[in-house]
Amino acid sequence: MGMRAKHFGLVGVGVLVGVAASFQLSAHAQKAGAPLPLDELRQLADVYGLIKTDYVEPVEDKKLLSEAIGGMVASLDPHSVYLDPKAFRDMREAVQGKFVGVGVEISNEDGYIKVVSPIEDTPAFKAGIKPGDLITRIDNVPVRNMSSDDAIKRMRGKVGSKVTLTIARPGEDKPWVVPIARQEIRVVSVKAKMVEPGYAWLRISQFQENTLDELAKKTKELYAEQPEIKGLVLDLRNDPGGLLPGAIGVSAAFLPQPNQVIVSTRGQVADANQAFYGRREFYAQRGDPLAGLPAGLKSVPMVVLVNGGSASASEIVAGALQDYQRAIVMGSRTFGKGSVQTLRQLSSDTAIKLTTARYYTPKGRPIQATGIEPDLRVDESAEGDLLNALRVREADLQRHLAAEGEKKDTAPRGQNSSLAQQQRALALLKDRKPIEFGGQDDFQLAQAIRHFKGLPVQLAEGVPDADKPAPAPLPGAEQKLPELKAPPKK
């Protein structure tokens, strides 16, 4: 058996060294000239050989290698992931704005699956699942130490089929079990309406392939209904992000100059150090979905609403409009997901989604693990920002990519709220219906309208001069992007 193990080990070394060498040829995968860690590769091959010879039952080579790749990528940060054929297919569907599932955004926390936000008008939302809930079992299978990707796979399925989720809500004695029928989730990317004469509300729930087309359609309808709009609220609350071109295009729709920088990126390889401008070539491959937009969009006074569920692409938009003083950002600090994931296809139906850079606002402010701090901190209700005590942010995630100046640590920071605050929030939220963004009881939206009218805005507790109106936004102020520099060589 020793000879057999040695045989598998040698075969494994050959395969693994060959794979590693192929990666070395790519500038994206490994710095030129860096030596291969042969001792570690031999150890990996030895483990591979031992599993093949000594494990209690046979294991397919494909499964072992697939799991090895998945584990290697997942160990980097919460957003790098190996996409097997099913996950790759699911990702494509999600980008197109449709998939079959329950409709919930999730993250990992302390080995459990935590709800970041239920997607509006989906089975999870209608079942009463709330941000901060912990999913402890899926179809009675414990999720302890299950990856987010695996949890998503288990919640996906055929239309009409049922999945049973066991939910633990902090502060409640017993978990509750809820069966949910899977549906085709078609995320409506853009919603819009006139809140009252002269004041418009435009909501982007997620940045998808069709977001810019929907934005153009909705804004034209708003201006056709009321040509003289005095104030526009761009609602990015609970927007988990999505495609970068969508974020660039949305920002460009409101900025007066097309040559303004929207966002920049910095990473290890040369092509990760880029600046992205509000020009058509940066947000559309064919045609211009923003052609013919109402001219008033470039100068209408704006408020951007954000919260702890606003992440990634929504933070790019909020940061750009804030840096250029094109809009007042209102709400609570955003999620802080300011990293770039690049899709590297491995085969026709597999890929890795790899973190390759960090995002920076036009003024060079980092977004990663810090988020966008609003100009006006306004709670979600007159009673306070209850859900904020329950939300998890990027900096709370294990293995999160460190912010600039942050000591690299695998341990999460922990939420910025005490157990007492969380329990109080849960008690108050227990019988409260989820906030309907854009509805009559939307407190933050009401404060945005008060800001437009020059009336006092009720700011969050602890904010000084709460009765002092904020200054009016200055549209289109030019800003220079700091020179992009490659990271120092190690």
Which active-site residues does the annotation give?
312, 323, 337
d(CA 314, CA 239) in angstroms, rounded, equals: 6
Q: Which two tokens stand for residue 115?
A: 């709800």
Long-range residue pairs from 187-190, CB within 8 A, at least 24 positions apart, any chain: 187/97, 187/98, 187/119, 188/121, 188/214, 189/97, 189/214, 190/214, 190/215, 190/217, 190/218
d(CA 174, CA 176) in angstroms, rounded, equals: 6
- Listed in sequence order, the residues at least 6 apart from 313 whose beta carbon sits closer than 8 Å to its beta carbon are 207, 239, 241, 242, 243, 244, 246, 247
- Listed in sequence order, the residues at least 6 apart from 384 whose beta carbon sits closer than 8 Å to its beta carbon are 460, 461
Contact present, 395 and 414 (Cβ < 8 Å): no
Helix (H) or strand (E) holding 41: helix 38-54
d(CA 364, CA 262) in angstroms, rounded, equals: 11
**Chain centroid, CA 434 distance in Å:** 21
Lookup result for tokens 């940066």: 282
Neighbours of 209 (CB within 10 A): 14
Picking from 83, 61, 78, the residue whose alpha carbon sits closest to that of residue 15 is 61
Specify the amino acid at residue 448. Answer: A
**Chain centroid, CA 159 distance in Å:** 25
> Assign residue 251 a region: left if phi > 0, alpha if psi is -120 to 50, beta otherwise?
alpha
Contact present, 17 and 41 (Cβ < 8 Å): yes
Contact present, 233 and 202 (Cβ < 8 Å): yes
Long-range residue pairs from 465-469, CB within 8 A, at least 24 positions apart, any chain: none
Picking from 146, 151, 109, 103, the residue whose alpha carbon sits closest to that of residue 128 is 103
Contact present, 265 and 258 (Cβ < 8 Å): no
Question: What are the start-end ranges of the H helices in 190-243?
Answer: 211-225
Picking from 224, 232, 262, the residue whose alpha carbon sits closest to that of residue 246 is 262
